[in-house]
Structure 1
């Protein structure tokens, strides 16, 4: 596991990952505490999708990135750093001062298409699986379902 580039608050974007050729994650609704959005941006094409946890399309993602996708990009930059996110998404940004506006601006300028959102169920399922770990008592004992992770110990 790679530590966060900078600390981030989990209330707005509790789950963000670079996986399956996309930046994807879960973003909390600003108006309804019981609603979350599953948002994603595809690497290279920047095709985007945003829908609620019960598969209703986001009203703001019509023809361009909605605020949920913009929040997802911002939190991904905090989690992974600008260089890693830009490299993963294949976004050309220059300069040390690159931020969420720079990265989303570079993607939006290519006029990305709205994707089909077919990965939303997988992303939300992975988020729920991560939430289940919060219910475990803290322990240093190994978790059987986590044994497939590579060991961080050096092999002599």
Structure 2
């Protein structure tokens, strides 16, 4: 594509969706993403059906944060990855594959990578507890994704996505 030609997906109004490395169950971790220099997502509470946690691990430093959707700190994230963060890492490996997660988070793993070896490599560096200020943005993106699930299937354009660039010149 070095000659300036655009591929079919670059000409369309939709972006390619990378399929999951393996199927995931969405009940425990309904939202996971590699974005903003972090692995981040929403993890369901194991004890309260009405509570979710927003968890994240920063690339490179492995600084972590975990709090409820209304900014109460996680009781298990004191100096170590809590179970929510461990579940997030596990689901990220299912969604994106261990190699992609390791590259994104800048984790060096000898041999075959999986969720356990990635977690072990990150925790062996004794990461610090990070800032949970991004939790509101992550939770907001999660809620936006839920809203799209409620829409009826259609090929008509969505007005809130009008800002996506087009390949046509605008006069």
Q: Output the TM-score relative to the length of structure 2.
A: 0.84
For 1:130, the equivalent position in structure 2 comes to 145
Please state how far the C-alpha of 1:14 moved relative to its aligned partner: 0.2
Name the SS for the 2:47 alignment partner: coil
Q: CA deviation at 1:135?
A: 1.2
Instruction: Tell me the residue number matched to 2:123.
Output: 108
Please say if 1:44 is aligned against 2:57: no
1:142 Cα deviation from its structure 2 partner: 2.4
The Cα of 1:149 is off from its aligned counterpart by 5.4
Match of 1:13 among 20, 29, 33: 29
- Where structure 1 has 5 or more consecutive residues not aligned to the other structure, the ranges are 152-156
Larger radius of gyration: 2
| Residue 150 of structure 1: how far off its partner (Å) | 7.3
- Give the C-alpha shift of residue 148 in structure 1: 5.0
Moved over 4 A (4+): 147-151
Q: Does 1:75 align with 2:124?
A: no
The equivalent residue for 1:154 is none
Give TM-score, length-normalised by structure 1: 0.92
RMSD after superposition: 1.4
Within the alignment, does 1:140 sit opposite 2:155 as a pair?
A: yes
* Alignment length (residue pairs): 150
